[in-house]
Amino acid sequence: MLQRVYELGELPRVKDLLAEPRGTLSASFAFGKLATGRAGAEVTITAIPQLTCQRCMQGFGLSLSGGSEIEFAASEEPDAGDSERELFGTSNGLVSLRQLAEEELLLALPLAPACSTPLTCGKAPAYVTGDETPDVTGDMRRPFSVLQDLLKKT
């Protein structure tokens, strides 16, 4: 088993997603030959990146972990037709462990990061609580009501 540690701020595809470029990505690689005859690896990662909450737009740390079984392809553009695993392209038989770890981290990141406590989230807007309901009038706007008239004419 091979282990590496990378600075999150030095990963080009991740650094723009971070609220702050601090922290590390720990990655473990276990290499072997697969039943298909190709080389492969089991990749596991752990990190606590500083992300931006999409509710309050404040930074927060999110503990992430993930892993995949990877099968290495002979070219940079692999053909996934004959593999049950994710294929990762090689360049002249060489693989960048940094890119492989960065790929796993990207897969583990949430699409819309949010603090784990929405009611006390940074500067999130206050939500109405209790039995109060907003006053709704009958004069609601219906932006597509004109489309119904247009469909009747054709």
* Sequence spans of domains, the chain: 2-117
CA gap 127, 89 in Å, rounded = 48
Q: Is the pTM of this model over 0.85?
A: no
Among left, alpha and beta (phi > 0; psi -120 to 50; other), residue 114 is: beta
CB 94, CB 88: distance < 8 Å? no
- Residue bearing the bigger pLDDT, 79 or 42: 42
pLDDT at 8 over 80: yes
- Cβ 26 vs Cβ 47: under 8 Å: yes
DSSP 102: H
35 or 81, which is more confident?
35
How far is the C-alpha of 106 from the C-alpha of 27, rounded, in Å? 13
> Residue 123: what pLDDT?
60
Of 2-6, 19-23, 45-49, 112-116, which range is least confident? 112-116
% of the chain residues with pLDDT over 90:
42
Residue type, 77: E
Higher pLDDT, 76 or 105: 105
